[in-house]
Chain A
């Protein structure tokens, strides 16, 4: 074995010369002062987030403490809680309750549907199948949201493919039975809350699958084996090991599905009943009604709800496994 061949010549210096020039000088400077590099990299996004993003959000929230003069329609720039009083009227509470219920159901359904898909992707899919999984989950995100929603309107319409398919399967009675139910029913799926729910779940599902998959990916496979080795049935392993360890991912996903549903105003407008959701209320208050303070107050609602949601999730230990 000849070591000499693999080693550099003995004539090489112990300290190599710098590469010279501005580049070399900056490289050496950043190496000596890593915090300087960090500062330079973080400054633009921090300015953007701090001033443009959070700043404008606060400007909006500020509006909710103003009120509108009912005669002139002008905004009265004096601090008052009058707008919040308006927000708590029965009709508006109805909108809030409807939206929160929908968001909760959409989140729950997304989690239930996403878990097996994420589990398969994290545990079993390898190579080509994993690529296919990512493609399958992401592909719907590449096409326009509006196109997807209108496509669903056609699918769910009375003359749509779903009704046709159920007719062929002699299952129309199931659909009719469901549509005759109060609240969730309606003339057809495309003008019922059920339709709104289906489309919400479809559109937000990727936002649940990906974080759950990432969380499950971090669960070592031998924990599942250890649980089974210690006598836990697959169901017990799920509830005692997999679910608690996937919970941070489920909570992360639910933040997406929940808050996206809380704020959306297009889906319930195209598919569903004429009853309003929070997003639609904001849209109409700041637009046709010209009531910016009330619109701002409506936008505070999802923020407060999400705050409570995260606080509750933390108290339940959802982030303990992080």
Chain B
């Protein structure tokens, strides 16, 4: 099967900066694909390479089997939802949504009808006459989405589209985006630095760092079986354990990762477990995050709210199921 987007050894260098460095990537048609990474990791540049705003320094990109080298953005059947929406301030909402159809020469009545339908799809029917400046952030976000989707793109690119929204709105939009993608069956490529967002929405996630892809896999793969320290650390703030520590529990001298929720903390200092000291508690609502000190190694544990906890500074014992201790292939 042809990939929706295929990167073959794609690099994009800006002077001496390797924003994207020899990336290979296959995005499956119809999937919700997330590019996850810290800022400056190359994920947004990858998105811009697909959109056509950037051209690769080397390597080749194809979109649904067609070579995209040298093809300008306006000849790619790919649309973008920009981070700050990029709505046209001089056009009303309806004309914003109809813009793509207008420049393609679709008749006025037809394109306005399609735009109105797209607005209904993002639950903003009847907002067409307003100016973008009169809308809230969440509404602008929906207009940007409608403006892209009305063109029925082969691939929809979303550049941190939820970054500017507050938490509640963000959670709503996450669900909506996900269900919209299921209904439309369009390939979504989503850039985010929020690992929770990537894990909850995507079918597959690519974790970026320093212009390279560290790991590609299902959210479960990425979360449960991180390949590298970076992935373990970045995705869900796992405890990264040095080889000496890991050797004591697994017998192998390799780096390991242990999820905070896999650690049980008890007040007793006896029994077989890891002796530690509780150095801080962080109340998060449903859970409490504990900072623990094991002979100078800082670990975090997540316990359900309401668990009886010793006071800060006291000695505790940590236990965990050894199956949950995940060994990593690469030290990087």
Contact = CB atoms under 8 A, between A and B. Distances in A.
Contact of B79 (A220, A229, A244): A229
A27 interface: no
A241 B99 CA distance: 10
B79 A230 contact: yes
Contact of A229 (B73, B87, B90, B102): B73
Contacts of A229: 51-53, 73-74, 78-80
A14 B81 CA distance: 49
B168 interface: no
B2 to A, nearest CB: 23
A231 interface: yes
Contact of A230 (B53, B89, B151): B151
B104 interface: yes
A57 to B, nearest CB: 34
Interface residues of A, number: 19
Interface string A230-268: 111100100011001100000000000000000000000
B82 A233 contact: no
Interface in B48-96: 51-53, 72-74, 78-80, 82, 84, 86-90
A236 B99 CA distance: 11
A223 B99 CA distance: 12
A28 interface: no
B151 A223 contact: no
B260 interface: no
Interface string A153-169: 00000000000000000
Given A231-B74, A236-B103, A226 B86 contact: yes
Given A231-B74, A233-B74, A226 B103 contact: no
A226 B72 contact: no
Nearest to B100: A230
A225 interface: yes
Contacts of B212: none
B147 interface: yes
Given A231-B104, A231-B151, A240-B99, A220 B86 contact: yes
A233 B100 CA distance: 11
Nearest to A233: B74
A287 B256 CA distance: 96
B73 A225 contact: yes
Nearest to B83: A222
A231 B51 contact: no
A231 B100 contact: yes
Nearest to B72: A228
Interface string A43-76: 0000000000000000000000000000000000
B47 to A, nearest CB: 11
**Among A222, A229, A231, A245, which residue has the most Cβ atoms of chain B within 10 A?**
A229
A228 B90 contact: no
A228 B88 contact: no
B189 to A, nearest CB: 13
A6 interface: no
A107 to B, nearest CB: 22
A321 interface: yes
Interface in B19-57: 51-53
The 4 closest A-B pairs by CB, nearest first: A230-B100, A226-B86, A232-B103, A222-B86
Interface of B: 51-53, 72-74, 78-80, 82, 84, 86-90, 99-100, 102-104, 147-148, 151
10 contacts: A222-B84, A223-B86, A225-B82, A226-B86, A227-B99, A231-B103, A232-B74, A236-B103, A241-B88, A321-B90
